[in-house]
Chain A
Amino acid sequence: MRDQSTSAGVPSRRWAEFFVLPLARFLAASSLRAVLLLLVISLIVFGLNRLIPGDPALDLAGENATPEVIDAIRRELGLDRPWTLQYGTWLGDILTGDLGQSIMYNVPVVDLIIQRLPPTASLALVAILLAVTFGLIGGVAAAHWRGQWPDRVITAISTVGIATPHFWVGLILILTFSIHFNLFPASGYKPLSDGIGPWLRSLLLPGIALSFALGAELQRQTRSSIADVLTQDYIRTARAQGLSRAHVLWVRALRNGSGPVLTVIGFQIGILIGGSIVMEKVFGIPGLGTLTIEAVFAKDLPVIQGVVLVNAAFVVVINMLTDLSYRLLNPKVRLQ
């Protein structure tokens, strides 16, 4: 009995020592780091206030306002207080979920962001799925036929994909598939509630255009990673065991060589968000990108600050999750 309890106890103690404790330490450290990063990010976003040329109170009061009126507006906006106090109040509001009131729409910024989020999230999702499909298939195929013509063709497509402005690709897709062949709508967004078909049809062209750069980067990373895996002994052993070439390539090699995929998506998410802004303009999608363009033209600072802050916070969280997943999936890093 004693032996049994000992043998049962050792693995669980090891599990705690080698997995749970390091993971808890990592989570605590990365959470603290994320909070500090978010503080610095909030400081930079707050600093956007200071970039506005001139005096906001003067702009709001109009040309013929008396100094008393201007002073009153300045007091009302809190502009007469030191910037540290202004920042403290602004940060306090944000922590309670209040991102301020939009000047152009006169509604809370949070409501606007929630309302415009679904088209942007849908576009990003479609783009990521397309990029992962091309990246994995292209990467594995290029690694398998390394140095031969399929590798050269796929690598050339990726090299061109990275250099091509995605909004131009979007325009070319509209010209070809919407105007010439009349297969897809040239602009607009259909919500998922209208059915998955119309939703996907409205997002396929912008999704393809947006997935270009991410797909190309994923393909490059996957190619390099799979090419490395294919030289390993366990792949040779798998082949020697009589497993089919397709099984070795698409199951064994891909499972071990797809590590960079999550990391690349994590680190490219900021680029994808930036890209979706321009893509929404090309395809007339009423998402966060369109909202930001409208807000910047109208100098609607609360909306600009809200959108920038929410996106940066999202990138921080995604990067943290990427680090965490990399740690969980990779035993070497996990045990460090």
Chain B
Amino acid sequence: MTPSIPGPDRTGAPARTPRNRWVRFARRLAGQPLAVIAGSALLVIVGVLIAAPWIAPYRPDATNLMAVLRPPGTPGHLLGTDELGRDILSRVLVGGRISLLAALQGTGIALLIGVPLGLVSGYFGGWADKIIMFFNDALMSFPAMLLAMAIAGILTPNLTNAMIAIGIITAPRAVRLVRASALSIREETYIEAARAIGASQLSILTRHVIPNILPPLLVFAMILAGTVMLMEAGLSFLGFGVQAPQSSWGAMLGSSLGYAARAPWLATFPGLCIALTVLMLNLFGDGLRDAIGKKVRT
């Protein structure tokens, strides 16, 4: 009995593992159907939302008082109309663009604050680590939604302030992740070797530590974007995020509250869009984590 030969090669030669780690990563990702479906769905969602102003059948704020609260399937209004006769499909498309931008903005702010602090804390350690982590733990003790609401509300309620608030509140999670990654990387042999040949701290950080933190950070960013999208929806739902005439999926849900009995479709479509987008972000994030490999995963 001959031992089984791994890989699709039938000539008897063992299958070669690609040297480039990005190729290995892409192959592992392609081997996960759920992640591929989620990634493709995300691409479609992002593409449609970017093209929203051009593909929306009406302007999102165009009112028509002759056609208020029309149900889905009404000719000319596939998803119906709202209390001012505005087309729901157009508002879902353009509002989704704002939700997506808000998710990017909030995630970006969290990473901008969290990555440098996490690097300093994890790589350099010492008192800086102790102080940063203490403030980090204090910030993590606040119920995130409550503090975000307080900050966004005390500043003037608008989308930018809401995203600054969410970015500040979620930054401690980025600090924790980057710190943990930097802590393990700084003990690696190649870092010791770089130090031994006299490489500067800055060079070690930029050439070795940061590139190795990127994969888990990418996974984290995907999942954080979903969390930020849910928080933005919550803040806009309460009136502390997007302000009229602009709208996001969360704000659309907020304005649907008074019409829940008469026009349930006002709440149905924006909610479905949020759930679907966050679900795809989470599934793709999970797939990325598994594709990155065992070492990072643990």
Cα A20 to Cα B154 in complex, Å, equals 47
B155 to chain A: which residues have CB within 8 Å?
A: 51, 53
Establish whether residues A44 and B260, one from each chain, have CB atoms under 8 Å apart when the complex forms. no
0/1 interface trace, chain A 302-324, chain B, CB 8 Å (1 if under): 00100110011001100100000
Report how far A175 CA is from B279 CA in the complex, Å.
23
Which residues of B sit under 8 angstroms from A171, Cβ to Cβ? 253, 256-257, 260, 267, 271
**Docked CA distance A281–B281 (Å):** 27
Which chain A residues border B283 with CB–CB below 8 Å? 159
A270 touches B275 (CB 8 A): no
Inside 8 A of B233's CB, which chain A residues have their CB? 165, 167
Complex Cα distance A312/B145, Å? 12
Contact residues in B for A311 (Cβ distance below 8 Å) = 142-143, 146
Main secondary structure of the interface of B (DSSP, over half): helix
Contact (A308, B141) CB under 8 Å given A40-B135, A160-B275: no
Query: Would you give the shortest CB distance from A113 to chain B, in whole angstroms?
Result: 13
A274 near B278: Cβ-Cβ < 8 Å = no
CA distance A270 to B139 in the complex (A): 11
A215 CB–B CB distance under 8 Å: no
Interface residue A107 (Cβ < 8 Å from any Cβ of B) = no
Query: How many of chain A's residues touch chain B, expressed as a range?
Result: 35 or more
By secondary structure, the A interface counts as helix
Q: Is the CB of A163 within 8 A of B275?
A: yes
Q: Are B260 and A160 in contact (CB under 8 A)?
A: no
Task: For the complex, give the distance between the alpha carbons of A164 and B277 in Å.
Answer: 10
A239 contacts the other chain (CB 8 A)? no
Q: Is B150 an interface residue (CB 8 A)?
A: yes
Measured between C-beta atoms, what is the minimum distance from A276 to chain B in Å? 9
**Distance in angstroms between the alpha carbons of A160 and B271 in the assembled complex:** 13
Do B141 and A316 have beta carbons less than 8 Å apart? yes
- Judging by beta carbons under 8 Å apart, are B142 and A51 in contact? no
* Cβ < 8 Å to A, chain B residues 274-295: 274-275, 278-279, 281-283
> B146 to A292, Cβ gap below 8 A?
yes
CB A46 to nearest CB in B, in angstroms, measures 12
List B residues 223-279 near A (Cβ within 8 Å).
226, 230, 233-234, 237-240, 250, 253, 256-257, 260-261, 264, 267-268, 270-271, 274-275, 278-279
A296 lies within 8 A of B149 (CB): yes
**Residues B141 and A168 in contact, CB atoms below 8 Å apart:** no
Known: A37-B137, A40-B134. A274 touches B156 (CB 8 A): no
Residues of chain B within 8 A (CB-CB) of A127 are: none
- By the criterion CB–CB under 8 Å, are A163 and B279 in contact? yes
Assess whether B108 is interfacial by the CB under 8 Å rule. no
Which residues of chain A from 284 to 336 have any CB-CB distance to chain B below 8 Å in the complex? 292-293, 296-297, 299, 301, 304, 307-308, 311-312, 315-316, 319
Contacts of B140 in A (CB 8 A): 270
Q: Is A278 touching B240 in the complex (CB atoms < 8 A)?
A: no
Most buried by B among A44, A163, A273, A281: A163
* B146 surroundings in chain A (CB, below 8 A): 273-274, 277, 292, 307-308, 311
Within 8 Å of chain B (Cβ to Cβ): is A282?
A: yes
Question: Once the chains bind, are B141 and A160 in contact (CB under 8 Å)?
Answer: no
Interface residues, chain B, with chain A CB atoms under 8 Å away:
134-135, 137-147, 149-151, 153-156, 226, 230, 233-234, 237-240, 250, 253, 256-257, 260-261, 264, 267-268, 270-271, 274-275, 278-279, 281-283
Besides A48-B154, A53-B156, 7 new A-B residue pairs in contact (Cβ under 8 A), listed by A number: A41-B138, A159-B279, A164-B271, A171-B256, A171-B271, A271-B144, A273-B146
Question: What residues make up the interface of A, taking CB atoms closer than 8 Å to B?
Answer: 36-37, 40-41, 44, 48, 51-53, 159-160, 162-165, 167-168, 171-172, 174-175, 179, 186, 270-271, 273-275, 277-278, 281-282, 292-293, 296-297, 299, 301, 304, 307-308, 311-312, 315-316, 319
* Contacts A/B (CB < 8 Å), 23 sampled: A41-B138, A44-B142, A159-B279, A163-B275, A163-B279, A163-B281, A164-B271, A168-B253, A171-B256, A179-B261, A179-B264, A271-B144, A271-B145, A277-B145, A278-B237, A278-B238, A297-B239, A304-B154, A308-B147, A311-B143, A312-B141, A312-B147, A316-B141
